[in-house]
Structure 1
Amino acid sequence: MRSFGKSAIAVLCAALLAGCSSRGMTIEQLLADLSYETTASVSAHAPKHSAPASPAQSASSQSQTGLPPTALAIAPVEGQVQTAALMVPSPRRAAPRKREKQRVYSQRFRDAKPINFGKHAPHRLPVHGVDVSRWQGNINWTDLRLHGANFVYIKATDGVDHLDPMFHKNWREAREAGMKHGAYHFFYWCSPAADQADWFIRNVPREPGALPPVLDVEWNHLSQCKKRPSRQQVIEKMRVFLTKLEKHYGQRPIIYTAPDFYRDNLQGEFLDYPFWLRSVAAHPSQVYPGRKWVFWQYSGSGLSGGVSGKIDLNVFNGSERDWHNWVAHNTH
Structure 2
Amino acid sequence: MRFSAATALFFGCVALSACTSSSGPESLSAGLTTSKETTNSIVPAVIPTASVGEAIAQAQQQQPEPEVLAWAGQMPEPQAFTDVNRTAGMPLPADRPVAMLTPNVPQIEAEPAIIKPRRGGRLQVYSQRFRDAHPINFGKASPRRHAVHGVDVSRWQGDIDWVKLRTQGANFAFIKATDGGDHLDPMFMKNWRKAKDAGIKRGAYHFFYWCRTAGEQADWFIRNVPREAGALPPVIDVEYNGESSCKRRLSRATVLEKMRVFMDKLEAHYGQRPIIYTAPDFYEDNLSGEFPNHPFWLRSVAAHPSKRYPNRKWVFWQYSGSGLSHGVEGRIDLNVFRGSEEDWHAWVDAKAS
Q: What TM-score do the two structures reach when normalised by structure 1?
A: 0.70
* Candidates 301, 304, 308, aligned match of 1:283: 304
Aligned with residue 206 of structure 2, among 185, 190, 214: 185
* Equivalent AA in structure 1 for residue 153 of structure 2: V
Task: Return the offset for 1:224.
Answer: 1.5
Partner of 1:127: 148
1:331 aligns with 2:352: yes
Q: Where does residue 145 of structure 1 map in the other structure?
A: 166
| Alignment partner, residue 247 of structure 1 | 268
2:287 to 258, 266, 271: 266
Question: Which residue does 1:167 correspond to in 2?
Answer: 188
Aligned 1:3-152 pairs, distance under 5 A: 100-152=121-173
The Cα RMSD (Å) is 0.9
1:214 aligns with 2:226: no
* Shift of residue 331, structure 1, vs aligned partner: 2.2
Identity of aligned residues (%): 73
CA contact (8 A) 1:154 1:181 kept: yes
Runs of 4+ in 1 over 3 A off after TM superposition: none
User: Cα distance, 1:181 vs. partner?
Assistant: 0.5
User: What's 1:226 paired with?
Assistant: 247
Residue aligning to 2:257: 236
Is the partner of 2:321 in helix, strand or coil?
Answer: strand
Q: CA offsets per residue over residues 14-48 of structure 1, 9 Å max, x none?
A: xxxxxxxxxxxxxxxxxxxxxxxxxxxxxxxxxxx
What letter matches 1:116 in structure 2?
N
Letter in 1 for 2:347: W
1:298 and 2:319 aligned: yes
Contact 1:134 1:167 in 2 (8 A): yes
Shift of 1:227: 1.0
RCO comparison, higher one (Cα < 8 Å, 6+):
2
Unaligned runs of 5+ in 1: 1-97
Q: Which amino acid aligns with 1:130?
A: V
The answer to which structure has the higher helix fraction is 1
> Looking at CA atoms only, which structure, 1 or 2, has the larger radius of gyration?
1
How many aligned residue pairs are there?
A: 235
Gaps of 5+ in 2: 1-118
How far apart, CA to CA, are the structure 1 residues paired with 2:298 and 2:331? 19
Q: Residue 205 of structure 1 aligns to a residue in which SS?
A: coil
Deviation digits for residues 70-97 of structure 1 (CA, Å, limit 9, x no counterpart): xxxxxxxxxxxxxxxxxxxxxxxxxxxx
> What does residue 205 of structure 1 align with?
226
Tell me the equivalent position of 2:175.
154
- Alpha-carbon distance in structure 2 between the residues aligned to 1:330 and 1:313: 22
Describe the SS at the equivalent of 1:286.
helix
Amino acid at match of 1:174: A
Classify the secondary structure of the residue corresponding to 2:126.
Answer: coil
Report if the CA contact (8 A) 1:212-1:331 is conserved. Answer: no
CA distance in structure 2 between the aligned counterparts of 1:227 and 1:160, rounded to whole angstroms: 17
| Residues 208-264 of structure 1: per-residue CA shift (max 9 Å, x gap) | 110000000000001121111100000000000000000000001000000000000
- Equivalence for 1:321: 342
Amino acid corresponding to residue 226 of structure 2 in structure 1: P
CA distance in 2, matches of 1:301, 1:223: 22
Q: Distance in 1 between matches of 2:350 and 2:248?
A: 37
